[in-house]
Structure 1
Amino acid sequence: MLRPALACCKLYISESRNAPALRAIERAAAVLRPAAVLVNAFADDAYNRVGYTLVSRLSGGLPPPLHRAAFGVVAAALEAVDLGSHAGAHPRLGVVDHVVFHPLAGARLDDVAALARAVATEIGDKLQVPTYLYGAAHGEGRTLASIRRQLGYFTPTSPGNQWQGASDALSLPVAPDAGPGTPSRSKGVVVVGATAWVDNYNVPLHTSDVEAAKRIARAVSERGGGLRSVQAMGLAHGEGVTEVACNLLDPGRVGAEQVLEKVRQLATAQGLAVGEGYFTDFSQEKIIEMYMQSAEAEASQH
């Protein structure tokens, strides 16, 4: 079967412990199968966060299947999860913390940028949640990290380097691109973007010292003078464990092996043991393969 132009949507939901809520979200993700296929769900209980990966062809009606599937997941999450009762070791801006579209298999970044803008507008207008754009979906190419910094994303809101509850802010420091200018305490805000492929790669550290993990993360990240195209955070991750959680913005240039080696060098200098690094999603090729297998299976049934 020839490869069609594909788009991938990753949605990061601030919940992993509420089983009924997750079932409702995953039912919404499956509604348009096989036109849009859920190829991965990665849950992390310490972070209280799940990442979902949806894939579809770029064609196939207006709005495209991936638009409808992504919006359905966002709507289901906002209905099922209350940000006010959320607590976890990973930062978040809302129930739906982050939505990003990537082109796959010959698709163009411009195509998924248009898709991201359309989904963001619908989230803002229909679900009445302040929604921000970044990357190719934003007119000036604003980065995810910059909008997060402006919105206070990286500052824990409760002791123990945890993020708990919702912001008490009655207004937002930056006007959203869609939706109301006032955040909801139960929903928060949503950030929607379009970029080339990004690998999410985490490296565990066998220490409860979050400040040590933060120092290593700063030294690994490009912003701290470390590896080009790498963003990193040091986060608590359960009893006696922290993590250097990384976004590899150009994994063809700087990949997981280089990140792991850099973390090991820095951790060894501080007398810390390093665990085995891991990805939170499949590779681009594996995701394409999984989608094509699903399409072939559906075609064979007809």
Structure 2
Amino acid sequence: MIKLMLACCKLYISESRNRVALDLIERASKQYPEAAIVNKFEDEAYNRVGYTLVSKFTPNHSWNTNPLQKAVFAMVETACEAIDLELHHGTHPRLGVVDHICFHPLAQASLDQVSGLAQSVATNIGNELQVPTFLYGAAHEEGRSLDSIRRELGYFKPNSMGNQWSGGPISESIQLDPNFGPARAAPGTGVMVIGATRWVDNYNVPIMSTNISAVRRIAKQVSGRGGGLASVQAMALTHGDGSTEVACNLLEPSVIGADQVQFKIEQLAGEEGMVVGKGYFTDFSQEDIIEKYLKLGFVD
């Protein structure tokens, strides 16, 4: 029996309002149809778009011949050409034009296998595009975490009025220590963080309040780092008029899932006298993503 091996990449770009740029980025990926975009999530307030791509995975082949590697690199190269980070404003933090890339194994692929794919993409971006590139998770030899890199580079601190992020947090004068690429970041592109992990669910819960300080307290109490739910990362972000979101990464969704996160936030917000809306996922489940890819007919 032939194993079904798939690799998934979630690619987050710091732009959702520039239609010309996004069309160019998506057109770049279509050069490699076997690496299909199976989900696109745009957020106007965050000024951010997330793409989910999937392709067949053959570990015995060269990384550079993998259609997912080629599609991701083409999208990143186009994004760096089409978007100027210095002109960017939004309520979601970011480190670069392409803020975050993460590879996940699907079906019978392994985490070790897709970590090589992440390393290959990071090498090409750092060396060919000359963008400082940091590795995390299984792609990093010591398993460095994503949030540790973000904290070190100032990701979580708004740098503009009204809890907005303007441009990137990193000055070109700051000396960096990336895994690949130059030691200084160009202000128009910033830096990139690339990793490989097991599946992560992204679940955002709206709170009908503009009291960002109170929502930050809630987010801290929800997160594992703050003594809340293990394997949950959470941060508070302004989201449109009159609401703030607790944006969560569920690192082990089979252990701590969305229902538990929703309940915990409702409990904490109730203590603050706040109304909570129903949370939402920014992507499909991994089972649905596999099904969507199989329906495209690329797997015999």
Give the TM bin, normalised by the shorter chain: over 0.9
TM, length-normalised to structure 1: 0.95
Q: Which position in structure 2 is the counterpart of 1:127? A: 129
> Does the aligned pair in 2 maintain the 1:151–1:172 contact within 8 Å?
no
2:90 maps to amino acid: G
Deviation at residue 168 of structure 1 after TM alignment: 5.9
2:48 maps to amino acid: R
Unaligned runs of 5+ in 1: none
Q: Which position in structure 2 is the counterpart of 1:136? A: 138
Q: Report how many residues are paired.
A: 297
> Does the aligned pair in 2 maintain the 1:210–1:234 contact within 8 Å?
yes
Identical pairs, percent: 59
User: Partners of 1:152 and 1:233 in 2: how far apart?
Assistant: 14
Q: Which position in structure 2 is the counterpart of 1:209? A: 211
User: Partners of 1:174 and 1:184 in 2: how far apart?
Assistant: 12
Q: Which position in structure 1 is the counterpart of 2:87? A: 85
In the TM superposition, what are the counterparts of 1:93-108 in structure 2 within 5 Å? 93-108=95-110
SS at match of 1:295: coil
User: Partners of 2:196 and 2:45 in 1: how far apart?
Assistant: 27
Deviation at residue 31 of structure 1 after TM alignment: 1.7
Q: Which position in structure 1 is the counterpart of 2:154? A: 152
Deviations 1:96-152, CA, capped at 9 Å, x for gaps: 000000000010101110000000000001101000000000010000000000000
Deviation at residue 210 of structure 1 after TM alignment: 1.1
> Does the aligned pair in 2 maintain the 1:13–1:96 contact within 8 Å?
yes
Q: Which position in structure 1 is the counterpart of 2:51? A: 52
> Does the aligned pair in 1 maintain the 2:105–2:199 contact within 8 Å?
yes
> Does the aligned pair in 1 maintain the 2:12–2:50 contact within 8 Å?
yes
**Of 105, 112, 116, which residue of structure 1 is paired with 2:114?**
112
SS at match of 2:295: helix
**Of 243, 246, 256, which residue of structure 2 is paired with 1:244?**
246
In the TM superposition, what are the counterparts of 1:169-188 in structure 2 within 5 Å? 169-172=171-174, 174-188=176-190
Deviation at residue 249 of structure 1 after TM alignment: 0.2
Q: Which position in structure 2 is the counterpart of 1:17? A: 17
User: Partners of 1:41 and 1:168 in 2: how far apart?
Assistant: 27
SS at match of 1:222: coil
> Does the aligned pair in 1 maintain the 2:155–2:169 contact within 8 Å?
no
TM, length-normalised to structure 2: 0.96
